[in-house]
Structure 1
């Protein structure tokens, strides 16, 4: 699809995408909804006030009010069918041969006021997040980590292939890309054979390359979401870095799992790629050799989204090192399966709830989604440019995660960046 707006062929914000986010500018300080397109974004509030949605059939005046909100929650709550209508309409508006030329000719504000260069906006968290659950759906990661600590024969726990394992994270410390975070302090064992901990800054600070999914509509308390209906509850996706304090985690996780090792920060990319934009990239994920419980059976194999993912590490010297390239095809469980399992007890999801995929890794060197895996628990440091090396992250290191679906120039569907810089402990 060609646009009257110049869009680079390698832009992740092509017409095939239309991701939604929340921004402010020097002109308006109250957060408002925007759509990324090329190297610009569309201020949907200004566009709406100027009659930009006047030709959008199926959108009521009351539904238009969602563009006055400071988060995407009200827009998300409209549901998949309305997201589809609005996304398709905006694609038509930006097409080179738009069927709505009168909207462009009479709406001078579209180009003068509603279109803003991305370099002039500040991104904010796109959703008001009520709850955050992080899954463990990357089987290769689970196997790699399990092998480090228990050996290959006992790498996966007996339940792994049967149930989508997860833990409840901390929603209040989910932060938008570009937000720095401090190295956490906590209890750690001074040496492996010790039995008494010391309190000190984390020495094994790590990353976890993940995808995140936002819920658009919840379910009534006590009524599970069927795996076959779960797609209608999915709003869209973001990149995620679930920062991890490995030494703190090792001491605290028995018997109830991660706590302070995870709650100090989880970074997400600012633009939510709608579920419909990634629908064409569905494919098969990792095979599951066990017989699933009926509530997890989808009846299809093309249930995983094919997204190319990479991680870069920028050091204090300014060198940017690509440390991993992998694919979201390295997931065992699909998002509908995760939703179905999360709600099988009757647990009620809500608009804006965030689910993480768990770390996405391959088996080959340079395809793992955490430094713990790549450095073999810190024993084999990553070799970087200018003679630097990393067993784990150092202060002032910056991690940058990128992701993109599709290979056709002009039709790429990406997320922008998910980045964060580690500051010294407080």
Structure 2
């Protein structure tokens, strides 16, 4: 099936994608939208047609779920509703019989305001790339093992700050904090971070909640997770290096985390499923996952408009289903709007490293961007993350992009 929306067929936002977001036409209230090509469809307005003829057993009433300033009500409705909605969208945007009544509710994406798509409940960030963990271990523990003893037995993570997740385009203010004291003693220095960094990650958005005391097996992943969005985990490495022992990241991470305004449904990523890398030793039974537990998603990291890295998500050691199973195995509950992220995505090659910490090897081996040597972020720098995957129609689908520009510390 092909879409009747001009310019959408064959684009990154064709019928095989249909990501959800929250938008507002200038001066109007925020509501749920679906992207098709370079247009945003007001989903609730179109769903209102024929609503009065709905009968018991006809399926969910989508209009009230979409006339909301966030996706949370729709996400909470569960997988059956998500599937019905996707089939309905494909029909509406793929069959020209619906064009006349739908066309007035299409808005050019460049002429609307895009908002944070979900009210974030909890945020967990994992550490699931073996290449990234190995690189960091070699830098920080040059005389020891690169990986900690637990790394290949469980997906390591930490609980982050949900309140500072921001939508793409939000400026990122350089954080201030304590750094490591000098070798000759004295108090820790305090001031703006001098080693501000990024981390290219993929985030997963939870729709269906669970009760406290229950857990989600890896086979239940798609029943609880609605979709994905690229994520930039901004990181102040000097603050992080001083604070993280013994309890892990805190102020070095919590000042800002950026996500795309678009949430791509898992249903759009079926063609992108791929084999995980070999897991040795075999994971414990609660972490066992079917053989196509990974996703073949290509990332690009742009610094001031120039591509400096292309991290491959297919290289990730731990799958998202394993992340979710581990997150809940102790009985921790899920809430609608929970976000959990993969950790930095890095591949085997230097040009596949998903952080500037790795690209510059801790600042010791600068990389080139803009015709000069670079290490960590400077005020005024803009970072953009892009991601694409194979779609069901044989082309690529876009997962949206995440941008942020660094502003000076106060």
TM-score by length of 2: 0.95
1:23-172 pair list within 5 angstroms: 23-28=23-28, 30-51=29-50, 58-61=58-61, 63-95=62-94, 98=95, 101=97, 103-105=98-100, 107=101, 110-112=102-104, 114-151=105-142, 154-172=145-163
In the alignment, what sits opposite 2:303? 313
Alignment length, in residue pairs?
Answer: 409
* Per-residue deviation, residues 211-254 of structure 1 (Å, max 9, x unmatched): 00011111111111122222211110000000000000000001
In the alignment, what sits opposite 1:277? 268
Q: Structure 2 unaligned runs (5+)?
A: none
Q: 1:82, CA displacement in angstroms?
A: 1.4
Q: Distance in 2 between matches of 1:53 and 1:287?
A: 53
Q: 1:194, CA displacement in angstroms?
A: 5.0
Asked whether the equivalents of residues 239 and 268 of structure 1 are also in contact (C-alpha less than 8 Å), the reply is yes
In the alignment, what sits opposite 1:317? none
Q: 1:190, CA displacement in angstroms?
A: 5.3
Q: 1:11, CA displacement in angstroms?
A: 2.4
SS of equivalent to 1:76: helix
Q: 1:50, CA displacement in angstroms?
A: 3.8
Question: 2:227 is matched with which residue: 227, 236, 246?
Answer: 236
SS of equivalent to 2:350: coil
* Per-residue deviation, residues 350-379 of structure 1 (Å, max 9, x unmatched): 110000100000121110000000101001
Q: In structure 2, do the counterparts of structure 1 residues 370 and 53 end up closer, same or farther at CA, with 3 Å as the change threshold?
A: farther
Q: Structure 1 unaligned runs (5+)?
A: 315-319
Q: Distance in 2 between matches of 1:202 and 1:349?
A: 34
Question: Pairwise CA RMSD of aligned residues?
Answer: 2.1
Asked whether the equivalents of residues 269 and 390 of structure 2 are also in contact (C-alpha less than 8 Å), the reply is no
- Structure 1 range deviating more: 411-420 or 121-130: 411-420
Asked whether the equivalents of residues 133 and 168 of structure 1 are also in contact (C-alpha less than 8 Å), the reply is yes
Asked whether the equivalents of residues 2 and 9 of structure 2 are also in contact (C-alpha less than 8 Å), the reply is no
In the alignment, what sits opposite 2:196? 205
Q: 1:85, CA displacement in angstroms?
A: 1.4
- Structure 1 range deviating more: 282-291 or 35-44: 282-291
Q: 1:49, CA displacement in angstroms?
A: 2.9
In the alignment, what sits opposite 1:221? 212
Q: 1:79, CA displacement in angstroms?
A: 1.3
Asked whether the equivalents of residues 45 and 63 of structure 2 are also in contact (C-alpha less than 8 Å), the reply is no
In the alignment, what sits opposite 2:366? 381
Asked whether the equivalents of residues 226 and 295 of structure 1 are also in contact (C-alpha less than 8 Å), the reply is yes
In the alignment, what sits opposite 1:189? 180
